[in-house]
Structure 1
């Protein structure tokens, strides 16, 4: 197992755009969850990009020293629970329609890709509604 710095560097060499830290990615996940809870209104491509912060955490967890994993797991679990409460599980049906050659719907272990925001706001909401997503329409509520 590796330190946080070693994992950040290793994942960077594997193709991540920079050598992130756990704190960087937990903060990004927390920010995304907060925005989803009140209505994510950016576009679908930005949403897809934003979901990758959770992918990084998933990859890092397989490589990190156990004490780092134990330290951060409660906060990540709490954020995951909030994300689940703020989203709808549709097995990725709505989001799948917007994924292309660079993005494919990951397997079920990356469950956050199989959900969409419950509040359908702005450009993202419009795109998801056009793909059959059902939720609360913030734009008309």
Structure 2
């Protein structure tokens, strides 16, 4: 298994735009989860781009040494739980209208925000997504 630096560089060579660190991608996932909980206000293209931070973590977990995995897994699992709570599982039907879905093991692509607001909300509603508005409780 590889170190964080080695994994970041390996994934960059595989097509990621930079050699990210685990902390950078966990922070990006945390920021996206918080935005989804509040009501994601950006558009569908930004949302799908933002989801890729979780893709990076998924790929990195297969390569990282066990110590790094054990260190970060509790925080990622807690963020995953928050994301699940703030989203609706529609097996990816709404997002699939705008972005080719990856394999089924990337479960976060098969969910959409529960609060549908802004450009993203309009796009997802047009694709059949059902959710609440930003003021619903």
User: Shorter-chain TM-score category?
Assistant: over 0.9
Long gaps (5+) in structure 2 = none
Residue 72 (1) aligns with residue 65 (2): no
Q: How many residues align?
A: 137
Q: In the TM superposition, what are the counterparts of 1:91-102 in structure 2 within 5 Å?
A: 91-99=91-99
2:49 equivalent to 1:53:
no
Name the CA distance, whole Å, in 1 between partners of 2:41 and 2:133.
11
> Structure 1 length as normaliser, TM-score?
0.95
Deviations 1:51-108 (A, max 9, x none): 0000000000000000100000000000000000000000000000001xxxx21121
Matching of residue 130 in structure 1 with residue 126 in structure 2? yes
Computed over aligned residues only, the root mean square deviation of the Cα atoms, in angstroms, reads 1.2
Displacement after TM superposition at 1:140 (Å): 8.2
1:114-137 residue CA offsets vs partner (Å, 9 max, x unmatched): 000000010000000010000002
Report the Cα distance in structure 1 between the residues aligned to 2:103 and 2:19, rounded to whole angstroms.
Answer: 25
Q: After TM superposition, what 4+ stretches of structure 1 lie above 4 angstroms from structure 2?
A: none
Deviation string, structure 1 residues 23-54 (Cα, Å, up to 9, x no partner): 00000000000000000010000000000000
Give the aligned partner of residue 106 of structure 1. 102
Matching of residue 38 in structure 1 with residue 38 in structure 2: yes
Task: Classify the secondary structure of the residue corresponding to 2:47.
Answer: helix
Normalising by structure 2, we get a TM-score of 0.97
Is residue 115 of structure 1 aligned with residue 117 of structure 2? no
* Gapped regions of structure 1 (runs ≥ 5): none
